[in-house]
Amino acid sequence: MRALSPKGNTMKNRYIASFEAAQIAEKQIPQFKAGDTVKLGVEIKEGEKKRIQLFEGIVIARSGNGVDSTFTVRKIGANSIGVERIFPLYSESLKSFDVVRKGRVRRAKLHFLRGLKGKAARIKELKK
């Protein structure tokens, strides 16, 4: 037997679909969108040791659906160098997920921020 995926356009094995549904159910992810500032705790393996490293930046894109969804976070690192990382939303390496600020944007993808520097790259905060 095959089941329809959440989008309904492709067929998936029912065992794979049930496994993906279980993975989505066990992880608590807050609501966020492009323009929000997030603080992520990412597990880093260094040889035998494991530690959690914080990565804080602006979400510039979300893509995919279900267990395959990913999001891109951009931050400005040392010497004003832009650093972007793509994270799978339901990854085991994501230990903590916190939305610091809600941004007011009019786009779903904020790739234009790559060309901006300093104050021009700021995003207004969403008023509640």
More confident residue, 3 or 74: 74
pLDDT band at 27 (very low <50, low <70, confident <90, very high): confident
Domain ranges of the chain: 30-116
> What is the 3-state secondary structure of 45-103?
EECCEEEEEEEEEEEEEEECCHHHCEEEEEEECHHHCEEEEEEECCCCCEEEEEEEECE
pLDDT band at 6 (very low <50, low <70, confident <90, very high): low
Give first-to-last CA distance, the chain, whole Å.
47
Please give the Cα distance from 94 to 48 (Å, whole number): 19
Q: The whole model's pTM is what? A: 0.80
pLDDT tens digits, one per residue of 37-86: 999 999 999 999 999 999 999 999 999 888 889 999 999 988 888 999 99
Mean pLDDT of the chain: 87
Let me know if domain 30-116 sits in CATH 2.30.29.30: no
